[in-house]
Amino acid sequence: MIRFSSTQLWVHDQAEALDFYTKKLGWEVTSDITIAEMGNFRWLAVAPAGQPDVAVVLMAIPPAPVMDAATAEQVRDLMGKGYAGTLFLTTEDCVAEVERLKTRGVEFIDEPEERPYGIDAGFHDPSGNHLRLAQLRQF
């Protein structure tokens, strides 16, 4: 059996992303390691509280030669436009969570809306990554 473990998001600033995912979203750091001998490569992973077996790795866009400058620019461009990737999150109470996140300064691009599958809202992280927050209907 294959299980889901973790996924990776590009971020334009790891410190800013860390602040957003922990202080605003309320997630926890599951790994934060900087390796000096690898050009201070920082492996930074966060996860929702109570879900220690999954994680999102917040990855800085690497310098050359790991990624060439033109590609890095393309990634930054896509990320800034909101096309780099989406995280789909669920919650028991979408409206209440959206209110809570708004008090912490999260700007929503989609207010909670009724969908056939439940209530769904959307926002961006500081890098432009898209996050959906859904309260799923029990069928």
Partner 1 sequence: MTASPPALLPAPVPPARHLLRARDLADTRYTEPISVDDMARAAGLSRAHFSAEFRRTFGETPHAYLLTRRLERAASLLRATEYSVAAICMEVGWASVGSFTTSFRRCFGVTPTGYRASFPPAKDLARIPGCVLQAYGRPQNRTFREDDAAAPARPSGQFRQPKEDTR
Least CB distance from residue 90 to partner 1, whole Å? 13
Q: What is the SS3 assignment for 108?
A: strand
| 15 is a site residue for partner 1 (CB under 8 A) | no
Q: Are 99 and 111 in contact (CB under 8 A)?
A: no
Question: Which tokens is 106 given?
Answer: 């999260």
Question: Which tokens is 125 given?
Answer: 């992280």
Least CB distance from residue 78 to partner 1, whole Å? 20
Least CB distance from residue 81 to partner 1, whole Å? 25
Round to the nearest angstrom and report the end-to-end CA distance of the chain.
Answer: 26
Least CB distance from residue 100 to partner 1, whole Å? 8
Residues 94-133 that bind partner 1 (CB under 8 A): 94-96, 99-100, 114, 118-119
CB within 8 Å of 23: residues ≥ 6 apart? 104
Q: Which is nearer to partner 1, 43 or 83 (CB)?
A: 43
81: number of Cβ within 10 Å: 9
Instruction: Point out which residues bind partner 1 (CB under 8 A).
Output: 5-6, 22-23, 26, 28-35, 37-39, 41, 43, 45, 49-50, 62, 65-66, 93-96, 99-100, 114, 118-119, 135, 137
